Amino acid sequence: MRHVDFAPLYRSTVGFDRLFSMFDNLTQPENGQSYPPYNIERTGEDAYRISMAVAGFAESDLSIEAHRNVLTIRGERSEETSETSELLYRGIASRSFERRFQLADHVEVSGATIRNGLLHIDLTRNVPEEMKPRRIEIGTNSTEETKQIEAKTAH
């Protein structure tokens, strides 16, 4: 993939730094990170859900943080050492992870649950009333008399 240089745009624009950094992040590979797998689904008109496979992680091993339109999910599992058994094959991953998701403006985390090895994070888009489009009624002056402004003439 060809790299696009946004440096000239940084010099001639004000306030678009976040937009250009998002473009930079989109053009760079994700370093092949695929663990843990996740789904993003739309559950309503303004509701979304991120479901992440976190088998083997307890609630205390996971942390979720939302800060400045970035949702960060971390998992750190302590190594369980058992003196009565010896692990012959490890097929269930237990490595630590960190996943970041860019959230759109006005998207907030409304809750998180863990069930059957899946972490569900519910998101809601709450657009403030002043930001929503509103319909402007067009008035007619047919019933009202048209006002005329008279100008004074200079003598």
Query: What does each C-alpha distance from 37 to 61, 72, 119 come to in angstroms?
Result: 17, 15, 11
C-alpha R_g of the chain = 27
Q: Check whether residue 62 and residue 104 sit in a common domain.
A: yes
Count of domains for the chain: 2
Kindly report whether the global pTM for this prediction surpasses the value 0.75: no
Identify the CATH number of the domain in which residue 46 sits: 2.60.40.790
Contact 69, 142 (CB under 8 A): no
For 35-82, write each residue's pLDDT tens digit: 889 999 999 888 999 999 998 888 999 999 998 888 999 999 776 656
Please, which residues have CB within 8 angstroms of residue 139's CB and are 6 or more apart in sequence?
none
For 104-116, write each residue's pLDDT tens digit: 888 889 999 999 9
